[in-house]
Amino acid sequence: MSQVILILGGARSGKSTQAQALADGLSERVLYVAPAIAFDDDMRRRIEAHRLSRPQAWRTLESPRDLATPLSDAMDGVDVVLLDCLTLWVSNVLMEDPGFSFEGGKDFGLLQERLLEESEKVLAMARERDITLIAVSNEVGMGVVPPYASGGVFRDLLGRVNQLWAARADEVYLMVAGVPLRVKA
C-alpha cells in the first residue's frame, strides 16, 4: 500500500538519519533520490558522507532540478523512494531561474507553480505505483525572517512546497535534536 512520509526539521536535526532508518526498515529495494550539487568542498564532503551512510544495495538517482521524469524512469523494481531533500531541490530550481537575482523584486509565482506541479506529479506517481515515498525537507518557518530578498524568496517557496507535501502526506515528523515528533499520523 502506498504511503507518503514527510520528515521536517532544522539543520543537523537528524532528518536524513531518521529517513534512512525508516526506508531501511521497510525494504531493501530503495531508490535514493539525491538533488545535491557538489558546488564546493563542504558540499562534496556532505554528499560523500550521505553516500557512505546508505546501504550499498540501495540505488541512487542524482537529479538536481527535475524530479518527475527521472523518477518515472527509475522507480521500477523499488518499494521505497527516499527523496533527500526537497530543500536542495527547491534551491537548485530557484538558482537556475533566469530571472533570479539577489536583489529581489521579481514575482516568483510561475516558479512556485512549477515546483508545486512537479511535487504533485511525484506524489501521484508514488500513489499510482504503490510505493512508499519518504521526503526530507528543512522547516523554514520557525527561524528569523531573512534580512535579504533572495532568502525571503527561498523561504517562501520552500514553505509552500513543504505545505503541499505535508497536506498530501500520510505521516509527518518534525525532528528535534534527533528525536522524531509525530505531527501527522
The tens digit of pLDDT for each residue in 135-166 reads 999 999 887 888 888 888 899 999 999 999 99
Query: Residue 127 burial (CB < 10 Å; 0-12/13-18/19+)?
Result: middle
Sequence-distant (6+) residues with CB within 8 A of 80 are 23, 26, 27, 29, 30, 31, 131, 132, 133, 134
Question: Is the model's pLDDT at 68 over the cut of 90?
Answer: yes
Q: How far apart are CA 8 and CA 160, in angstroms?
A: 13
Kindly state the average pLDDT of the residues 35-39.
81
The grid cell for 109 is 509565482
Question: Is the model's pLDDT at 101 over the cut of 70?
Answer: no
Q: Write down the pLDDT at residue 105.
A: 61
Confidence of residue 2 (pLDDT cuts 50, 70, 90): confident
Question: Is the model's pLDDT at 103 over the cut of 80?
Answer: no
Topology given in CATH for the domain delimited by 3-184: Rossmann fold (3.40.50)
Nearest one of 185, 184, 181, 167 to 15, comparing CA atoms: 181
Q: Write down the pLDDT at residue 165.
A: 98
> Does residue 91 carry a catalytic annotation?
no
For the chain, what is the HEC assignment? CCEEEEEEECCCCCHHHHHHHHHHHHCCCEEEEECCCCCCHHHHHHHHHHHHHCCCCCEEEECCCCCHHHHHHHCCCCCEEEEECHHHHHHHHHHHCCCCCCCCCCCCHHHHHHHHHHHHHHHHHHHHCCCEEEEEEECCCCCCCCCCHHHHHHHHHHHHHHHHHHHHCCEEEEEECCEEEEEEC
Q: Write down the pLDDT at residue 90.
A: 96
29, 46, 50, 129: which is the annotated catalytic residue? 50
Question: Considering the entire predicted model, what is its pTM?
Answer: 0.93
Q: What is the mean pLDDT of the chain?
A: 91
- Whether the Cβ atoms of residue 91 and residue 154 lie closer than 8 Å to each other: yes
* Domain locations along the chain: 3-184
Question: Is the model's pLDDT at 27 over the cut of 80?
Answer: yes
Q: Write down the pLDDT at residue 168.
A: 98
Question: Is the model's pLDDT at 171 over the cut of 90?
Answer: yes
